[in-house]
Amino acid sequence: MACPVYLFTGFLDSGKTTLIKDTMNDVQFMEGVERTLILCFEEGETEYDEAYLREHKAFVEYMDDISELTDEKIRELDTVYHPDQVFIEYNGSQPVEEKLLNGMPNYWPVVQILSTVDATTFDSYIVNMRSMLFEQLRWSDVIICNRCWPDMNVRGMRGNIKAINRRAQIFYEGEFGAEVKFSRGTLPYDINAEVIDINDDDYGIWYMDCLEDPMKYDGKKIILRGMYAENIPGYKQSFVMGRRAMVCCAADTSLCGITVTGVKIWEMKIGDWVEVEGNLRAVDVEGGAKTVVLYATRIQRYHEPEDPYVYFS
């Protein structure tokens, strides 16, 4: 029977050990688990004391580098400890190695990647160490933002995380895992205006809010400005308009796009910048989810902004 492996990433002292201990304190998660092996590649301020480990039937092996985790070493650990699950506390200064993503033996599969983010240092890291943060979060299934406070710019943090990893689930916690209610949830535009005019600097915030709650925008009149990004095969009056968000560097970007329909696409070419006014409609997509489509009533040329990239703050 396969032993599930959970990989925990994040900078030093971002809360990885605390998250692992909280997980082991979760009775529902630990149901049926008799033995847990923790592979620790980094030692922070929070430690695993012997009494706690005995209480939870957990064992810790400290390792210096992922190169030590060979197939032979994994077989040895499996034989010695017979774990029901494995938690890997990874070194936050190193990218997630291919070994962990695709090279683990089938009896030790990595089933989930969880990452911790310290909200108090996030703005500094996203500016000064974006590439390192990118390597931590790009593969994550779950991202826990801890040490949040009520009046923080949560939309800016969420937008930057989603630019790195759109599919990840994000959770927010206050100090010591407490629930936090944010006071700065106001959008930088009036969603109840007769026509919502999205400025260049606000496109990213609008896009993420619309992605999260398409029904909020169903039936709204809007003005958007972006680039003719993609054709839609088989459609002669529809195209994808959007802006690119910088993921890691200028050479690595992600399209934040929306389908526009009801226009003469033969009068445009990919790369053209346009301003589109129209009506948003929430439509069903595969899997039971919803997205929005912009039904254009007016379209015209638009100048490429001095800074064409999407930002979320």
Q: Each residue of 140-194: pLDDT tens digit? A: 999 999 999 999 988 788 888 888 987 788 899 998 889 888 886 557 788 999 9
39/151 same-domain check: yes
42/104 same-domain check: yes
What CATH number does residue 294 fall under? 2.40.50.140
59/137 same-domain check: yes
26/148 same-domain check: yes
What's the pLDDT score for residue 250?
A: 67
Contact 207, 174 (CB under 8 A): no
In the chain, beta strands by DSSP E? 5-9, 36-40, 58-62, 85-89, 110-118, 142-146, 169-172, 196-197, 221-231, 238-249, 252-261, 273-284, 290-301
CA distance 271 to 186: 32
pLDDT > 90? residue 278: yes
Report the predicted TM-score, pTM, of the whole model to 2 decimal places.
0.68
Domain that holds residue 288: 196-301
**What proportion of the chain, given as a percentage, has pLDDT over 70?**
97
Domain's final residue, options 116, 147, 177 = 177
Which of 108-122, 127-141, 243-257, 261-275 has the weakest average pLDDT? 243-257
DSSP label of 313: -
Query: Is 312 part of a structural domain of the chain?
Result: no
What CATH number does residue 160 fall under? 3.40.50.300
18/106 same-domain check: yes
161/205 same-domain check: no
The mean pLDDT of 276-299, rounded to a whole number, is 94
Band (pLDDT 50/70/90 cuts) for residue 246 is confident
Q: Tell me which of 51 and 47 has the higher pLDDT.
A: 51
- Mapped onto helix, strand or coil, the DSSP state of residue 255 is strand
What's the pLDDT score for residue 184?
A: 66
Contact 57, 8 (CB under 8 A): no
pLDDT > 70? residue 239: yes
100/136 same-domain check: yes
